[in-house]
Amino acid sequence: MLLDKIDLRILNILQNNSNLTTKELAAKVNLSTTPVFERVKKLEKEGYIKKYKAILDSEKLDRGLMVFCNITLKEHTRKIGNQFVKDILSLDEVVECYNISGDYDFLMKVLVRDMKHYQNFVLNHLGEIRNIGSAHSAFVMGEIKNSYLVPI
């Protein structure tokens, strides 16, 4: 699917505010509601729009400590890697996880209440995952920029 300027504008508007009605979105791109509705449905079907979400305030929900944790595995086989991914997916505290290149194998973003909660997470959850060689934690002191926007 080739995207034209209107499709790109729709995507840009929606990623800033996905709560707009079709009528409001149509007014912003100077089209009537029917073609805008059809374009949005096509963008969803083609996978340009994965889902719509509410972005929550982690501090207000008692998850104010953000930690980036770099993980190195002891061994690198498909079976071990798949088991690690399965184990990580079951941990609620891990809100993002990326398989990366370089000195570490995975980078995780962890949200917890406080240092004591993180200690419990490391000892009783992360520590139970087999084949982790090392885990290095970096504690976020302040958030400078947090954008879910894809540059268009």
Question: Tens place of pLDDT for every residue, the chain, 152 residues?
Answer: 899 999 999 999 999 999 999 999 999 999 999 999 999 999 999 999 999 999 999 999 999 999 999 999 999 999 999 999 999 999 999 999 999 999 999 999 999 999 999 999 999 999 999 999 999 999 999 999 998 899 99
Q: What is the pLDDT of residue 1?
A: 81
Q: What is the pLDDT of residue 79?
A: 95
Q: What is the pLDDT of residue 36?
A: 98
pTM: 0.88
Cβ burial of 58 (10 Å; 0-12, 13-18, 19+) is middle
Domains of the chain: 5-45 (1.10.10.10), 65-139 (3.30.70.920)
